[in-house]
């Protein structure tokens, strides 16, 4: 239409998989937090393509981080799972 496309990136950001080196479009949120650092109100989000969804999930789960995969359009604002390190102390 002759209009410059500059500025469109803010609205139509392509959401690319967070896996290093992967350039595929993400279809999933990998919601996680590090209970040693983050309180229960914190949720970190990685983006994942179909191929790396399980990889990223397992990577975090192997570190005992609470992790939940959700569709890209439905990020979580809260994670279930273990309590914070502080509250687990006797
Ligand atoms: Zn990927």
Q: Is residue 2 part of a domain?
A: no
**Better-predicted residue by pLDDT, 41 or 11:** 41
Grouping H, G, I as helix, E, B as strand and the rest as coil, residue 57 is helix
Q: Is residue 49 part of a domain?
A: yes
Q: Is residue 5 part of a domain?
A: no
Grouping H, G, I as helix, E, B as strand and the rest as coil, residue 85 is helix
- Minimum mean pLDDT among 22-26, 31-35, 39-43: which range? 39-43
Q: Is residue 3 part of a domain?
A: no
Q: Is residue 1 part of a domain?
A: no
Residues at Cβ < 5 Å from ligand 1 ion: 17, 19, 22, 24, 49, 52
Distance (angstroms) between ligand 1 centre and the Cα of 79 equals 23
**pLDDT of 40-85, one tens digit each?**
888 999 999 999 999 999 999 999 999 999 999 999 988 875 555 4
Name the pTM for this structure: 0.74
Q: Is residue 87 part of a domain?
A: no
Distance (angstroms) between ligand 1 centre and the Cα of 1 equals 34
Q: Is the pLDDT of residue 9 over 50?
A: no
Structural domain for 50, as ranges: 17-73
- Please answer whether residues 3 and 36 qualify as being in contact, where contact means their C-beta atoms are separated by less than 8 angstroms: no
Distance (angstroms) between ligand 1 centre and the Cα of 17 equals 5
Distance (angstroms) between ligand 1 centre and the Cα of 81 equals 25
pLDDT at site 11: 47
């Amino acid at each position: 239409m002759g209009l410059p496309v500059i500025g469109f990136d803010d609205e139509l950001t392509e959401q690319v998989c967070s896996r290093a080196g992967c350039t595929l479009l993400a279809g999933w949120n990998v919601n996680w937090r590090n209970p040693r650092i983050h309180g229960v109100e914190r949720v970190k989000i990685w983006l994942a393509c179909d191929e790396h969804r399980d990889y990223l999930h397992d990577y975090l789960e192997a570190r005992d981080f609470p992790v939940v995969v959700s569709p890209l359009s439905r990020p979580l604002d809260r994670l279930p799972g273990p309590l914070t390190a502080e509250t687990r102390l006797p």
